[in-house]
Structure 1
Amino acid sequence: MSGPKRTLVTNDDGVDAPGLRVLAGVARDLGLEVVVAAPAVQFSGSSASIVAGLEDRDRIALDRRRLEGLDDVLTYAVGAAPGLISLIAAYGAFGDPPDVVLSGVNHGANVGRAILHSGTVGAALTAGINGARGLAVSLDVGLAAEFGLERPDHEPHWATAADLAGRMLPFLLDQRPGTVLNLNVPDRDPGDVAALRTAPLAEFGIVQTTMTEHADDHIRLTVTDMSDPPAPGTDAALLADGHAVVTAVRSVTEADSPALAELVDGLTAARE
């Protein structure tokens, strides 16, 4: 990693989230050229959505902010989902396009194939398909804490996740553009976190959504822990065992389907 690298720091928890501030501070202290642009309101679960609260039909609201301890970092609250923020950053909305997009630190884990729905991961994947590198960073605060039931005297270990992300940045910046990593870290002091591991995605995430009420005028959903443990060796299993875990991921790509090719050949032949 030689010389300043343009770095966008975003999230899906919103511009006032503490994890965002800590991650931006780590990037700044590494000598990266940092700009923060994050949703003005929470956009959790937005995936790579390009939804925005448009003003005058086609204007995205930008509001200059100042984050505690980051007076020297240009910061915007944006009326848009993190995926759209990552996209417009690639267009030069916040200066030169970023070399890397850091997304997080998210309040809650993002593991398994359920990362499809994550706004945190969605911003990193959007960076990857637009010529940057991406790193999604999440802190496993537990299901109760994710939904506002954490102990009032407990401060999540944001720095544990952000510092580990910082240690991975030189590696990431040496990789080719389009590289995207998904990092999950236990909510513990650094010395209590088991060794960093790489792992495949679990089949599901660590929570499940079930329909608990279905009436004529509404549906009620409930989020609970998964009833079955994740498969051993997967990202969800290793995180549950206290490991920090990182997985290289990529955006939507085509699948090989010989059967589909045969169908197309048959339909084409039928027209001749």
Structure 2
Amino acid sequence: MNQSTRVLITNDDGIGSPGLHALAAAAVRAGLSVVVAAPASEASGSSSSITAVEEDGKITIEERELEDLDGVEAYAVHGAPAFITMIATHGAFGPPPDIVLSGVNRGANVGRAILHSGTVGAALTAGINDGRGMAVSLDTGMHPEKIHWDTAARLATGLLPFLMEQEAGSVLNLNVPNSAGPDLPEYRTATLTRFGIVQTTLAERGQQHVRLAIADTTETPDPDSDAALLAAGYATVTALQPVTGTALPSLDALPQAASQA
């Protein structure tokens, strides 16, 4: 990789997130060509939504200056992170990016519930547009005393040479323990656990409303899963596959079943 490797930095926490700034700064230190484009406001839980706020058919994109990132193009976009990634691949911010780095997200993105993550959605959108994507999340917990953004940012840029060696469309999900010290956490490949670290539950159902709550998962994760390895202090790396079709057991019975419907 060199300065010709173009990297888009985005997230779902918004343009003002310190995690976004840390990731952009790490990419600059790695000698990459960096452009930052992130939601103008928080877009957590937006998955791969390509929604945007339109006015007269136009989506507002505002130029921003990011502290300690002089010379780095930065934009606040009134749209979801997957939308930002999509328009970036079509040249909205200059040449299409070779890699999309999405994060650093405040909080882990593990398990099958990553389907709902805007951080992961942006990385997957890079993949379906024949780019390479990486979602980067820091396991901060609910009430951290200190957040070590730089730990996640350094581990993310450390994975970039590996990601660039993979075929176009490759997507990685990186989760990092919220730790600091001279030695960075070790990488471990991991499977997706069945459930995330926490689950959304239905706390109340009333007339014309529902109320949700967040609860810790009671299920014990598999030892080789992202949740288990992250809890053990490792930086977990999971390869994700953008949306593809899958084979049905047999199509022979479908026409007959359809005719009887």
1:72-117 deviations in Å (ceiling 9; x for gaps): 1000000000000000001100001110000000000001111100
Quick one: which amino acid aligns to residue 91 of structure 1?
H
Structure 2 match to 1:98: 97
**Displacement of 1:2:** 4.6
Structure 2 match to 1:232: 223
1:208 aligns with 2:207: no
Does the CA contact (< 8 Å) of 1:114 and 1:204 recur in 2?
A: yes
Q: Which runs of 5+ in 2 are unaligned?
A: none
**Displacement of 1:250:** 1.1
Q: Secondary structure at the match of 1:8?
A: strand
Count of matched residue pairs: 260
Query: What TM-score, normalized by structure 2, do the two folds share?
Result: 0.95
Structure 2 match to 1:70: 69
Aligned-residue sequence identity (percent) comes to 55
1:38-97 deviations in Å (ceiling 9; x for gaps): 0000000110000111122x2111111111111210000000000000000011000011
Query: What TM-score, normalized by structure 1, do the two folds share?
Result: 0.91
For residues 80 and 117 of structure 1, the distance between their equivalents in structure 2, rounded to whole angstroms, comes to: 16
Which 4+ stretches in 1 moved above 6 angstroms? none
For residues 190 and 246 of structure 1, the distance between their equivalents in structure 2, rounded to whole angstroms, comes to: 20
Structure 2 match to 1:85: 84
For residues 8 and 136 of structure 2, the distance between their equivalents in structure 1, rounded to whole angstroms, comes to: 13
Structure 2 match to 1:171: 162
Alignment of 1:1-272 (within 5 A): 1-56=1-56, 58-142=57-141, 144-145=142-143, 150=144, 154-191=145-182, 194-259=185-250, 261-267=251-257
**Displacement of 1:256:** 1.7
Quick one: which amino acid aligns to residue 234 of structure 2?
H
1:158-187 deviations in Å (ceiling 9; x for gaps): 000000111111111222211100000000
Quick one: which amino acid aligns to residue 10 of structure 1?
T
Query: What is the alpha-carbon root mean square deviation over aligned residues?
Result: 1.5
**Displacement of 1:8:** 0.4
1:190–1:125 distance in 2 versus 1, CA, 3 Å: farther
